[in-house]
Structure 1
Amino acid sequence: MTTAVRTTPIPARLGVALVAAAVVNLLVALVASTLDAGGIGMGLQPSVFLPATVVGVLLGTAGWFAVRRIAPRALPVVVPVVLALTWIPDLLLLGQGATLANVVGLMLMHAVIATAVVVALRPTMR
């Protein structure tokens, strides 16, 4: 006799991932803002990073399914490469008055979103 394995539907997984990413990004922003003495605080306001978190989860999901459809074995390479590419604009902010705390905070926010998407969608690889 076999037992059926119940899995959580993808929209529910993505909803949890989105809420988790938003909460963790809020904490990252609070810490980065505290350490951002005299900086420009770029992207550390909830009105900026919360919509960006939603967009990041949506784009990450679309990218995941596109790569999974075309070259599923490439995901372990594509995900970190895309994450690293998202850090380039963050690093460029150093030349525009952002502090290291600001930039590292933004980079961590991108990593949080990528992690949330990967954790939510990893079961789709089976």
Structure 2
Amino acid sequence: MSRVSETLPTRRGPIMVAGGVFVAFLLSSLVNALIAVLAHALGAPDDFRPLEPSSYVFLTALGVLGGSVGWALVRRFSSDPERLLRRLVPSVVVLSFVPDFFLFGEGEVTGVGALLLMHVAVAVIAVPTYRRVMPLSSAR
């Protein structure tokens, strides 16, 4: 490895960060669309509003954007961001399930299962993106 590549800064510019977050949003939305289609094919009712694109695309945008803000804050203020995020990310994903559990009252198991899977899919896509565009090694 050359000395030049070892000394390159790991800080990313705001355009690269915004672009990465946008790509994470697009990929997450596409995966969530696939999950919604599969859920409908497996029996989720067509009128289950959370599986309509207007619902899940908006909430995907909020999740990806909120996650990026949280990631940036942890990078900035935590003395050990890697350790904190290893605990925080799964905790936030599990907490994000809570509103979906209330939809079980409608008797819709397939749709709710799809929604829970969507939360996980967004995290699986967004976290590596944040890691790439907002590396933890440059936090301090």
Same fold (TM over 0.5): yes
Cross-structure match for 1:3: 4
* 2:66 matches 1:82: no
The number of residue pairs the alignment matches comes to: 125
* 2:21 matches 1:14: yes
The AA in structure 1 aligned to 2:136 is: M
CA apart distance, 1:115: 1.8
Q: Is there any run of 5+ residues in structure 1 with no aligned partner, and where?
A: none
- What TM-score, normalized to structure 1? 0.86
> 1:107 is matched with which residue: 108, 112, 116?
116
Name which one, 1 or 2, has greater alpha-carbon Rg. Answer: 2
Cross-structure match for 1:118: 127
CA apart distance, 1:76: 0.4
Q: Is there any run of 5+ residues in structure 2 with no aligned partner, and where?
A: none
Give the root-mean-square deviation of aligned CA atoms: 2.1
Aligned-pair identity (%): 34
Contact 1:83 1:114 in 2 (8 A): yes
The AA in structure 2 aligned to 1:69 is: R
Per-residue deviation, residues 49-101 of structure 1 (Å, max 9, x unmatched) = 11111111111111111222233121000000000001111122111232x21
Contact 2:44 2:111 in 1 (8 A): no
> 2:39 is matched with which residue: 29, 32, 35?
32
Within 5 Å, give how 1:37-116 maps onto structure 2: 37-38=44-45, 41-71=48-78, 72=81, 73-98=83-108, 100-116=109-125
Report SS of the residue matched to 1:43: helix
